[in-house]
Structure 1
């Protein structure tokens, strides 16, 4: 297997940089493929923000690359304005404490239609 980690990192950087809110997840927002991804989508829906999702099951390079990119071993992973926030457990804790909504508001993230 050739080493595409540089390319993959660039692709991930581009995705993270081009979107205010990005969720790297298993499946899609309509059809999450794991409970953690489902929970992450639900939290973002409750926060009423627009977000881009990347289905890591469709792209093995990104699936592995995102773990190295964030130095975080699990998926889903949430990025807000280029900053790694965390996985579904951290999202849940922040959401319940009101911190996630506050961060999204402070960073002036686009609201969902």
Structure 2
């Protein structure tokens, strides 16, 4: 496993919820990342974010790691969930909150 894959694997396995995004939750750098943050905030869960704009290895590596071409990307308990369109659909259907609850994801403080 390459160094970047190891770093990504460590991030997604040591945190219940990880959002790879452009920017930060307080200052998203694209509309899709902003949407993903709003959805997670509305779910009320604690999550870790990774700003792919600060690390080009992660920015390219996450696309290979997940075999998903776009950012943002959400992982829950080490499993890839999807990008902002999938998050939006799951959230609107109540499936995202159910996934968080089933996995015992901690609530945000």
Q: How many residues align?
A: 109
Note the C-alpha offset of 1:108: 0.4
1:49-68 CA-to-partner distances (Å, cap 9, x unmatched) read 00000000000000000000
**2:63 paired residue among 54, 63, 67:** 67
| Mapped partners of 2:53, 2:36: distance in 1 | 16
Q: Where has structure 1 moved over 6 Å in runs of 4 or more?
A: none
2:6 paired with 1:10:
yes
Unaligned runs of 5+ in 2: none
Report what 2:41 is aligned to: 45
Name the SS of the counterpart of 1:72 in structure 2. coil
Which of these two proteins has the greater Rg computed from alpha carbons? 1
TM-score, L = length of structure 2: 0.99
TM-score, L = length of structure 1: 0.96
Note the C-alpha offset of 1:70: 0.1
> What is the root-mean-square deviation of aligned Cα atoms in Å?
0.7
Note the C-alpha offset of 1:47: 0.1
| Mapped partners of 1:18, 1:31: distance in 2 | 24
Report what 1:20 is aligned to: 16
Name the SS of the counterpart of 2:8 in structure 1. helix
